[in-house]
Amino acid sequence: MGDHSRTIRLLSLSLIAYLLVTMTALGQVKAGTLSQIAGFFPAQPRSYEQVSQLLSQLDRTSTLVTVEAIGQSHNNRSIWLATATDPDYPSDEKIRLFVIARQHGTECAGTTATLALLQYLAAAPSDTEAKLLRYFEIAVVPVANPDGCVAGRRTNAQQMDLNRDWGKFTQLETQAIRAAVIRHQPHAVIDLHELPASSRNRSYAENFIETIGSHDSLPALLCANTVAASRNISYWMKGYGYPLNVYYDYPGDSLALCHRYWGLSQGIPSFLCESKTGAGRSLQERAGFHVLAILGIINYLGRQQLAPVSPGSEVVVAARPPQPPPTEIPLTLAVRLEPAASGDNDTNLVVHTQVEGSGQFSFVTVNVDGVTKLLTTQRNGRYALDTSRLSSGQHSISAELCSEFGAALSTQQTTFIVPLAGVQIAK
Protein backbone atom coordinates (compact mmCIF):
# COMPACT_ATOMS: atom_id res chain seq x y z
CA MET A 1 0.00 0.00 0.00
CA GLY A 2 1.44 3.41 -0.93
CA ASP A 3 1.71 6.41 1.34
CA HIS A 4 -1.07 8.11 -0.57
CA SER A 5 -3.62 5.39 0.02
CA ARG A 6 -2.50 4.98 3.62
CA THR A 7 -3.15 8.69 4.12
CA ILE A 8 -6.58 8.29 2.58
CA ARG A 9 -7.35 5.38 4.88
CA LEU A 10 -6.19 7.17 8.01
CA LEU A 11 -8.09 10.28 7.08
CA SER A 12 -11.18 8.33 6.28
CA LEU A 13 -11.01 6.26 9.44
CA SER A 14 -11.11 9.35 11.59
CA LEU A 15 -14.01 10.66 9.58
CA ILE A 16 -16.19 7.58 9.53
CA ALA A 17 -18.25 8.58 12.52
CA TYR A 18 -18.68 12.10 11.23
CA LEU A 19 -19.69 10.90 7.80
CA LEU A 20 -22.13 8.36 9.10
CA VAL A 21 -24.21 11.07 10.68
CA THR A 22 -23.94 13.67 7.94
CA MET A 23 -24.16 11.79 4.68
CA THR A 24 -27.86 12.27 4.09
CA ALA A 25 -27.04 15.90 3.48
CA LEU A 26 -24.42 15.08 0.85
CA GLY A 27 -25.01 14.51 -2.79
CA GLN A 28 -28.20 14.31 -4.72
CA VAL A 29 -30.80 11.68 -4.17
CA LYS A 30 -31.44 9.74 -7.31
CA ALA A 31 -34.16 7.19 -6.88
CA GLY A 32 -34.08 5.75 -10.35
CA THR A 33 -30.71 4.01 -10.35
CA LEU A 34 -31.97 0.58 -9.29
CA SER A 35 -34.85 0.69 -11.73
CA GLN A 36 -32.51 1.78 -14.53
CA ILE A 37 -30.22 -1.17 -13.84
CA ALA A 38 -33.24 -3.47 -13.52
CA GLY A 39 -34.21 -2.34 -17.01
CA PHE A 40 -31.39 -4.59 -18.23
CA PHE A 41 -32.68 -7.71 -16.44
CA PRO A 42 -33.79 -10.37 -18.93
CA ALA A 43 -37.15 -12.12 -18.46
CA GLN A 44 -35.40 -15.51 -18.18
CA PRO A 45 -31.92 -16.41 -16.93
CA ARG A 46 -29.29 -16.39 -19.66
CA SER A 47 -27.45 -19.55 -20.65
CA TYR A 48 -23.67 -19.69 -20.32
CA GLU A 49 -23.51 -19.27 -24.10
CA GLN A 50 -25.68 -16.14 -23.96
CA VAL A 51 -23.61 -14.74 -21.09
CA SER A 52 -20.45 -15.23 -23.16
CA GLN A 53 -22.04 -13.50 -26.17
CA LEU A 54 -23.19 -10.53 -24.10
CA LEU A 55 -19.76 -10.11 -22.51
CA SER A 56 -18.08 -10.29 -25.91
CA GLN A 57 -20.44 -7.61 -27.19
CA LEU A 58 -19.71 -5.33 -24.19
CA ASP A 59 -15.99 -5.82 -24.71
CA ARG A 60 -16.28 -4.82 -28.39
CA THR A 61 -18.65 -1.88 -28.03
CA SER A 62 -17.71 -0.13 -24.77
CA THR A 63 -14.47 1.63 -23.90
CA LEU A 64 -15.48 1.32 -20.22
CA VAL A 65 -15.78 -2.48 -20.02
CA THR A 66 -13.06 -5.00 -20.85
CA VAL A 67 -13.50 -8.77 -20.74
CA GLU A 68 -10.85 -11.48 -20.45
CA ALA A 69 -10.70 -15.19 -19.66
CA ILE A 70 -8.89 -15.71 -16.36
CA GLY A 71 -8.86 -19.50 -16.71
CA GLN A 72 -10.74 -22.54 -17.90
CA SER A 73 -13.14 -24.83 -16.09
CA HIS A 74 -12.61 -28.59 -15.90
CA ASN A 75 -14.67 -29.00 -19.07
CA ASN A 76 -12.65 -26.28 -20.77
CA ARG A 77 -15.14 -23.42 -20.61
CA SER A 78 -13.77 -19.91 -20.12
CA ILE A 79 -14.12 -18.24 -16.73
CA TRP A 80 -14.80 -14.61 -17.70
CA LEU A 81 -13.68 -11.54 -15.83
CA ALA A 82 -15.29 -8.26 -16.87
CA THR A 83 -13.82 -5.01 -15.57
CA ALA A 84 -15.74 -1.74 -15.65
CA THR A 85 -13.64 1.38 -15.21
CA ASP A 86 -12.63 4.59 -16.96
CA PRO A 87 -9.24 3.73 -18.49
CA ASP A 88 -8.25 7.43 -18.56
CA TYR A 89 -7.74 7.39 -14.80
CA PRO A 90 -5.08 5.23 -13.12
CA SER A 91 -6.27 1.98 -11.60
CA ASP A 92 -4.08 2.23 -8.50
CA GLU A 93 -5.82 5.44 -7.46
CA LYS A 94 -9.26 3.89 -7.65
CA ILE A 95 -11.43 2.01 -5.21
CA ARG A 96 -11.40 -1.54 -6.53
CA LEU A 97 -14.26 -3.96 -6.03
CA PHE A 98 -14.20 -7.65 -6.94
CA VAL A 99 -17.59 -9.32 -7.40
CA ILE A 100 -17.96 -13.09 -7.77
CA ALA A 101 -21.25 -14.63 -8.90
CA ARG A 102 -22.49 -18.18 -9.35
CA GLN A 103 -19.96 -20.42 -7.66
CA HIS A 104 -23.05 -22.60 -7.41
CA GLY A 105 -24.21 -23.37 -10.94
CA THR A 106 -27.95 -23.04 -10.30
CA GLU A 107 -27.83 -19.60 -8.66
CA CYS A 108 -28.60 -17.31 -11.58
CA ALA A 109 -29.62 -14.05 -9.83
CA GLY A 110 -26.01 -12.97 -9.23
CA THR A 111 -25.20 -13.46 -12.90
CA THR A 112 -28.29 -11.46 -13.87
CA ALA A 113 -27.39 -8.66 -11.44
CA THR A 114 -23.74 -8.31 -12.43
CA LEU A 115 -24.45 -8.38 -16.17
CA ALA A 116 -27.13 -5.71 -15.82
CA LEU A 117 -24.76 -3.57 -13.75
CA LEU A 118 -22.09 -3.91 -16.45
CA GLN A 119 -24.59 -2.99 -19.19
CA TYR A 120 -25.76 0.01 -17.20
CA LEU A 121 -22.24 1.23 -16.52
CA ALA A 122 -21.14 0.61 -20.13
CA ALA A 123 -24.04 2.70 -21.39
CA ALA A 124 -22.97 5.53 -19.02
CA PRO A 125 -26.39 7.16 -19.29
CA SER A 126 -25.40 10.16 -17.19
CA ASP A 127 -22.53 12.02 -15.63
CA THR A 128 -23.12 10.00 -12.46
CA GLU A 129 -21.95 6.74 -14.00
CA ALA A 130 -19.06 8.43 -15.80
CA LYS A 131 -17.84 9.82 -12.47
CA LEU A 132 -18.39 6.51 -10.75
CA LEU A 133 -16.04 4.75 -13.15
CA ARG A 134 -13.49 7.50 -12.75
CA TYR A 135 -13.24 6.69 -9.04
CA PHE A 136 -14.06 2.97 -9.06
CA GLU A 137 -12.85 -0.16 -10.79
CA ILE A 138 -15.47 -2.90 -10.64
CA ALA A 139 -14.23 -6.37 -11.57
CA VAL A 140 -16.88 -9.03 -12.04
CA VAL A 141 -16.86 -12.80 -12.52
CA PRO A 142 -20.48 -13.34 -13.66
CA VAL A 143 -20.21 -17.15 -13.84
CA ALA A 144 -17.61 -18.63 -11.51
CA ASN A 145 -18.76 -22.18 -12.22
CA PRO A 146 -19.41 -22.50 -15.99
CA ASP A 147 -19.74 -26.31 -15.94
CA GLY A 148 -22.27 -26.25 -13.10
CA CYS A 149 -24.17 -23.48 -14.89
CA VAL A 150 -24.39 -25.54 -18.10
CA ALA A 151 -25.26 -28.76 -16.26
CA GLY A 152 -27.83 -27.02 -14.02
CA ARG A 153 -26.27 -28.13 -10.76
CA ARG A 154 -24.62 -26.64 -7.70
CA THR A 155 -21.22 -28.32 -7.99
CA ASN A 156 -18.60 -28.14 -10.73
CA ALA A 157 -17.68 -30.93 -13.17
CA GLN A 158 -15.62 -32.62 -10.44
CA GLN A 159 -18.72 -32.77 -8.20
CA MET A 160 -17.01 -30.26 -5.92
CA ASP A 161 -18.75 -27.43 -4.06
CA LEU A 162 -16.54 -24.50 -5.07
CA ASN A 163 -17.58 -22.45 -2.06
CA ARG A 164 -16.07 -25.07 0.25
CA ASP A 165 -12.74 -25.07 -1.61
CA TRP A 166 -11.27 -21.72 -0.51
CA GLY A 167 -8.04 -22.06 1.42
CA LYS A 168 -7.56 -25.48 -0.14
CA PHE A 169 -7.77 -24.47 -3.82
CA THR A 170 -8.05 -27.97 -5.25
CA GLN A 171 -10.19 -26.78 -8.19
CA LEU A 172 -9.27 -24.95 -11.40
CA GLU A 173 -12.11 -22.46 -10.88
CA THR A 174 -11.11 -21.34 -7.38
CA GLN A 175 -7.45 -21.23 -8.39
CA ALA A 176 -8.21 -18.95 -11.35
CA ILE A 177 -10.45 -16.60 -9.36
CA ARG A 178 -8.01 -16.39 -6.47
CA ALA A 179 -5.20 -15.37 -8.86
CA ALA A 180 -7.45 -12.71 -10.41
CA VAL A 181 -8.42 -11.30 -6.99
CA ILE A 182 -4.76 -11.10 -5.96
CA ARG A 183 -3.93 -9.30 -9.19
CA HIS A 184 -6.72 -6.75 -8.66
CA GLN A 185 -5.97 -6.05 -4.98
CA PRO A 186 -9.57 -5.14 -4.23
CA HIS A 187 -10.76 -2.96 -1.36
CA ALA A 188 -13.73 -5.32 -1.01
CA VAL A 189 -14.78 -8.76 -2.25
CA ILE A 190 -18.48 -9.54 -2.81
CA ASP A 191 -19.68 -13.11 -3.33
CA LEU A 192 -23.23 -13.48 -4.68
CA HIS A 193 -25.40 -16.52 -3.88
CA GLU A 194 -28.99 -17.69 -3.65
CA LEU A 195 -30.76 -19.48 -0.81
CA PRO A 196 -32.87 -22.44 -1.85
CA ALA A 197 -36.49 -22.09 -0.78
CA SER A 198 -36.29 -25.66 0.51
CA SER A 199 -33.59 -24.97 3.11
CA ARG A 200 -34.69 -26.04 6.58
CA ASN A 201 -32.10 -24.05 8.44
CA ARG A 202 -33.77 -21.31 10.44
CA SER A 203 -30.82 -19.04 9.75
CA TYR A 204 -31.72 -19.25 6.09
CA ALA A 205 -35.31 -18.11 6.32
CA GLU A 206 -34.69 -14.77 4.59
CA ASN A 207 -32.27 -12.82 2.39
CA PHE A 208 -29.03 -12.39 4.25
CA ILE A 209 -25.54 -10.98 4.10
CA GLU A 210 -22.68 -12.55 6.00
CA THR A 211 -19.59 -10.50 6.72
CA ILE A 212 -16.75 -10.13 9.20
CA GLY A 213 -17.70 -9.12 12.75
CA SER A 214 -15.82 -6.83 15.07
CA HIS A 215 -13.15 -8.76 16.98
CA ASP A 216 -10.00 -7.84 18.91
CA SER A 217 -7.81 -10.24 16.97
CA LEU A 218 -8.79 -8.82 13.56
CA PRO A 219 -7.48 -5.59 11.98
CA ALA A 220 -9.58 -2.72 13.38
CA LEU A 221 -10.02 -1.11 9.98
CA LEU A 222 -11.29 -4.36 8.46
CA CYS A 223 -14.02 -4.67 11.09
CA ALA A 224 -14.88 -0.97 10.96
CA ASN A 225 -15.45 -1.35 7.23
CA THR A 226 -17.48 -4.55 7.31
CA VAL A 227 -19.69 -3.52 10.24
CA ALA A 228 -20.35 0.01 8.95
CA ALA A 229 -20.90 -1.19 5.39
CA SER A 230 -23.37 -3.86 6.49
CA ARG A 231 -25.33 -1.24 8.40
CA ASN A 232 -25.36 0.94 5.32
CA ILE A 233 -26.58 -1.96 3.18
CA SER A 234 -29.33 -2.78 5.68
CA TYR A 235 -30.48 0.83 5.47
CA TRP A 236 -30.65 0.54 1.69
CA MET A 237 -32.41 -2.80 1.70
CA LYS A 238 -34.99 -1.56 4.14
CA GLY A 239 -35.49 1.60 2.11
CA TYR A 240 -36.20 -0.51 -0.96
CA GLY A 241 -38.46 -2.97 0.88
CA TYR A 242 -36.11 -5.96 1.10
CA PRO A 243 -36.10 -7.84 4.43
CA LEU A 244 -32.50 -8.56 5.45
CA ASN A 245 -30.51 -10.35 8.12
CA VAL A 246 -26.78 -9.75 8.52
CA TYR A 247 -24.68 -12.46 10.17
CA TYR A 248 -21.16 -11.87 11.38
CA ASP A 249 -18.16 -14.22 11.16
CA TYR A 250 -15.34 -14.44 13.65
CA PRO A 251 -11.92 -16.11 13.91
CA GLY A 252 -12.47 -19.86 14.25
CA ASP A 253 -15.18 -20.01 11.57
CA SER A 254 -14.28 -22.24 8.60
CA LEU A 255 -12.17 -20.51 5.97
CA ALA A 256 -13.41 -22.81 3.19
CA LEU A 257 -16.00 -20.20 2.19
CA CYS A 258 -14.87 -17.51 -0.23
CA HIS A 259 -15.84 -14.44 1.79
CA ARG A 260 -14.35 -15.83 4.99
CA TYR A 261 -11.12 -16.69 3.23
CA TRP A 262 -10.72 -13.12 1.97
CA GLY A 263 -11.97 -11.53 5.16
CA LEU A 264 -10.64 -13.62 8.04
CA SER A 265 -7.48 -14.91 6.36
CA GLN A 266 -6.50 -12.09 3.97
CA GLY A 267 -7.90 -9.03 5.77
CA ILE A 268 -10.02 -7.76 2.86
CA PRO A 269 -13.55 -6.53 3.68
CA SER A 270 -15.73 -9.24 2.21
CA PHE A 271 -19.43 -9.95 1.92
CA LEU A 272 -21.49 -13.05 1.17
CA CYS A 273 -24.85 -11.95 -0.26
CA GLU A 274 -27.69 -14.50 -0.37
CA SER A 275 -31.05 -13.81 -1.94
CA LYS A 276 -33.89 -16.11 -0.94
CA THR A 277 -35.60 -18.04 -3.72
CA GLY A 278 -39.08 -19.50 -3.74
CA ALA A 279 -42.67 -18.64 -4.56
CA GLY A 280 -43.26 -14.97 -5.19
CA ARG A 281 -39.55 -14.18 -5.47
CA SER A 282 -38.92 -13.47 -9.13
CA LEU A 283 -35.55 -13.46 -10.81
CA GLN A 284 -35.91 -9.69 -11.13
CA GLU A 285 -36.53 -9.24 -7.41
CA ARG A 286 -33.66 -11.53 -6.44
CA ALA A 287 -31.27 -9.84 -8.85
CA GLY A 288 -32.41 -6.48 -7.46
CA PHE A 289 -31.25 -7.63 -4.02
CA HIS A 290 -27.77 -8.29 -5.39
CA VAL A 291 -27.63 -4.98 -7.25
CA LEU A 292 -28.58 -3.15 -4.06
CA ALA A 293 -25.92 -5.01 -2.08
CA ILE A 294 -23.25 -4.01 -4.61
CA LEU A 295 -24.48 -0.40 -4.77
CA GLY A 296 -24.60 -0.26 -0.98
CA ILE A 297 -20.96 -1.30 -0.74
CA ILE A 298 -19.94 1.11 -3.51
CA ASN A 299 -21.84 3.81 -1.70
CA TYR A 300 -20.16 3.05 1.60
CA LEU A 301 -16.62 2.80 0.21
CA GLY A 302 -17.10 5.96 -1.81
CA ARG A 303 -18.33 7.93 1.16
CA GLN A 304 -15.66 6.55 3.40
CA GLN A 305 -12.66 6.86 1.11
CA LEU A 306 -13.47 9.53 -1.45
CA ALA A 307 -15.66 12.18 0.09
CA PRO A 308 -13.08 13.38 2.65
CA VAL A 309 -10.26 13.82 0.14
CA SER A 310 -12.06 14.50 -3.10
CA PRO A 311 -14.87 17.03 -2.80
CA GLY A 312 -17.40 16.61 -5.54
CA SER A 313 -17.05 12.85 -5.62
CA GLU A 314 -20.20 12.41 -3.57
CA VAL A 315 -21.71 11.21 -6.81
CA VAL A 316 -21.47 7.77 -5.26
CA VAL A 317 -24.25 8.50 -2.80
CA ALA A 318 -26.61 9.21 -5.67
CA ALA A 319 -28.43 5.92 -5.50
CA ARG A 320 -29.54 6.04 -1.89
CA PRO A 321 -33.17 5.17 -1.23
CA PRO A 322 -35.58 8.02 -1.93
CA GLN A 323 -36.87 8.34 1.62
CA PRO A 324 -34.74 7.58 4.63
CA PRO A 325 -36.73 5.79 7.31
CA PRO A 326 -37.53 8.19 10.15
CA THR A 327 -36.33 7.18 13.60
CA GLU A 328 -39.15 8.17 15.84
CA ILE A 329 -39.98 6.75 19.19
CA PRO A 330 -42.04 5.18 20.83
CA LEU A 331 -40.92 1.69 20.02
CA THR A 332 -40.46 -1.27 22.32
CA LEU A 333 -38.24 -4.28 21.94
CA ALA A 334 -38.90 -7.70 23.49
CA VAL A 335 -36.55 -10.68 23.59
CA ARG A 336 -37.62 -14.27 24.12
CA LEU A 337 -35.66 -17.54 24.12
CA GLU A 338 -37.11 -20.89 23.17
CA PRO A 339 -35.74 -24.37 22.47
CA ALA A 340 -35.40 -25.16 18.79
CA ALA A 341 -38.17 -27.21 17.19
CA SER A 342 -37.35 -30.71 16.06
CA GLY A 343 -36.14 -30.68 12.48
CA ASP A 344 -33.99 -27.58 12.92
CA ASN A 345 -30.56 -28.82 12.10
CA ASP A 346 -28.44 -25.80 12.85
CA THR A 347 -29.56 -24.80 16.31
CA ASN A 348 -30.80 -25.81 19.72
CA LEU A 349 -31.86 -22.40 21.02
CA VAL A 350 -33.74 -19.68 19.17
CA VAL A 351 -33.57 -16.02 20.14
CA HIS A 352 -36.68 -14.10 19.12
CA THR A 353 -36.73 -10.33 18.94
CA GLN A 354 -39.92 -8.40 18.49
CA VAL A 355 -40.31 -4.69 17.84
CA GLU A 356 -43.63 -3.14 18.74
CA GLY A 357 -45.00 0.35 18.24
CA SER A 358 -45.77 2.59 15.34
CA GLY A 359 -42.37 4.24 15.02
CA GLN A 360 -39.70 3.41 12.49
CA PHE A 361 -36.32 1.92 13.22
CA SER A 362 -33.38 0.81 11.13
CA PHE A 363 -32.32 -2.54 12.57
CA VAL A 364 -32.07 -4.76 15.64
CA THR A 365 -28.84 -6.46 16.68
CA VAL A 366 -28.61 -9.69 18.66
CA ASN A 367 -25.48 -10.03 20.77
CA VAL A 368 -24.25 -13.15 22.55
CA ASP A 369 -21.86 -12.42 25.42
CA GLY A 370 -21.35 -8.95 23.99
CA VAL A 371 -20.47 -10.16 20.48
CA THR A 372 -22.84 -9.10 17.69
CA LYS A 373 -24.14 -12.14 15.84
CA LEU A 374 -27.09 -10.78 13.90
CA LEU A 375 -28.39 -7.55 12.46
CA THR A 376 -31.96 -7.75 11.24
CA THR A 377 -34.19 -5.17 9.58
CA GLN A 378 -37.31 -7.15 10.48
CA ARG A 379 -39.79 -6.45 13.27
CA ASN A 380 -39.79 -10.13 14.17
CA GLY A 381 -36.19 -11.31 14.20
CA ARG A 382 -34.90 -14.80 14.86
CA TYR A 383 -31.37 -15.92 15.61
CA ALA A 384 -30.62 -19.64 15.66
CA LEU A 385 -27.98 -20.35 18.27
CA ASP A 386 -25.88 -23.49 18.56
CA THR A 387 -25.03 -23.63 22.26
CA SER A 388 -22.75 -26.64 21.77
CA ARG A 389 -20.14 -24.13 20.63
CA LEU A 390 -20.32 -22.31 23.98
CA SER A 391 -18.66 -23.13 27.28
CA SER A 392 -20.77 -24.37 30.17
CA GLY A 393 -22.11 -21.74 32.54
CA GLN A 394 -24.07 -18.53 32.26
CA HIS A 395 -24.20 -16.53 29.04
CA SER A 396 -25.87 -13.26 28.18
CA ILE A 397 -28.05 -12.31 25.25
CA SER A 398 -28.74 -8.69 24.51
CA ALA A 399 -30.68 -7.08 21.73
CA GLU A 400 -30.44 -3.47 20.63
CA LEU A 401 -33.00 -1.54 18.65
CA CYS A 402 -31.13 0.95 16.50
CA SER A 403 -31.78 4.09 14.53
CA GLU A 404 -30.46 4.59 11.01
CA PHE A 405 -26.89 5.17 12.05
CA GLY A 406 -26.70 2.59 14.77
CA ALA A 407 -27.64 4.70 17.81
CA ALA A 408 -29.40 2.45 20.33
CA LEU A 409 -33.05 3.41 20.88
CA SER A 410 -33.71 0.55 23.28
CA THR A 411 -31.82 -2.39 24.79
CA GLN A 412 -33.05 -5.69 26.23
CA GLN A 413 -30.97 -8.27 28.05
CA THR A 414 -31.46 -11.82 29.26
CA THR A 415 -29.32 -14.79 30.28
CA PHE A 416 -29.24 -18.51 29.78
CA ILE A 417 -27.20 -21.38 31.20
CA VAL A 418 -25.33 -23.99 29.22
CA PRO A 419 -25.14 -27.08 31.44
CA LEU A 420 -22.02 -29.22 31.80
CA ALA A 421 -22.14 -32.11 29.35
CA GLY A 422 -24.12 -34.98 30.80
CA VAL A 423 -25.38 -32.94 33.73
CA GLN A 424 -29.11 -32.32 33.99
CA ILE A 425 -30.46 -29.08 35.28
CA ALA A 426 -32.93 -29.57 38.12
CA LYS A 427 -36.39 -28.40 37.16
Chain residues that interact with Zn ion, rule: CB under 5 A: 104, 107, 193
Cβ 154 to Zn ion shortest distance, Å: 7
The DSSP letter of residue 95 is E
Shorter beta-carbon distance to Zn ion: residue 104 or 187: 104
3-state secondary structure labels for all residues of 32-57: CHHHHHHCCCCCCCCCHHHHHHHHHH
Residue nearest to Zn ion (CB): 193
Consecutive H or E run containing 336: strand 332-339
What is the CB neighbour count within 10 angstroms for residue 285? 17
d(CA 135, CA 298): 10
For the bound state, the minimum distance from the C-beta of residue 118 to Zn ion, rounded and expressed in Å, comes to: 21
Instruction: Identify the H or E element spanning 385.
Output: strand 380-385
Nearer to Zn ion, 177 or 401 (CB): 177
Cβ of residue 270: shortest distance to Zn ion, in angstroms? 15
Parallel, antiparallel, or unpaired: how do β-strands 393-402 and 245-249 relate?
Answer: unpaired
Task: Please report how close the Cβ of residue 257 comes to Zn ion at its closest, in angstroms.
Answer: 10
Q: Cβ 104 to Zn ion, closest distance in Å?
A: 4
CB of 148 to Zn ion, least distance (A): 10
- Please choose, from the candidates 167, 88, 162, 174, the residue with its C-alpha nearest in 3D space to the C-alpha of residue 131: 88
Instruction: Please say which residue, 83 or 155, places its beta carbon nearer to Zn ion.
Output: 155
Q: Which is closer to Zn ion, CB of 105 or CB of 321? A: 105
Cα torsion angle, 2, 297, 221, 83, sign: negative
Distance (Å, whole) CA 269 – CA 98: 11
Q: What share of the chain is helix, strand, coil (3-state, %, to 5)?
A: 35, 25, 40
- State the amino acid at position 363 in one-letter form: F
How far is Cα 319 from Cα 299, in angstroms, rounded to an integer?
8
- Nearest CB to Zn ion, comparing residues 107 and 206: 107
CB nearer to Zn ion: pick between 145 and 353:
145
Closer residue to Zn ion, CB minimum distance, 30 or 164: 164
Partnered with residue 179 across adjacent β-strands are none
**Shortest distance, position 107 Cβ to Zn ion, whole Å:** 5
Q: Which is nearer to Zn ion, 96 or 104 (CB)?
A: 104
To the nearest whole angstrom, how small is the minimum distance from the Cβ of residue 124 to Zn ion?
31
In the complex, the smallest distance separating the C-beta of residue 193 from Zn ion, rounded to whole angstroms, is 3
Contact 190, 99 (CB under 8 A): yes
Cα 185 from Cα 95, distance rounded (Å) = 10
Question: What separation in angstroms does the CA of 246 have from each of 73, 147, 231, 319?
Answer: 32, 30, 9, 21
Cis peptide before 330 (omega within 30 of 0): yes
> Is the Cβ of residue 121 or residue 273 nearer to Zn ion in the bound state?
273
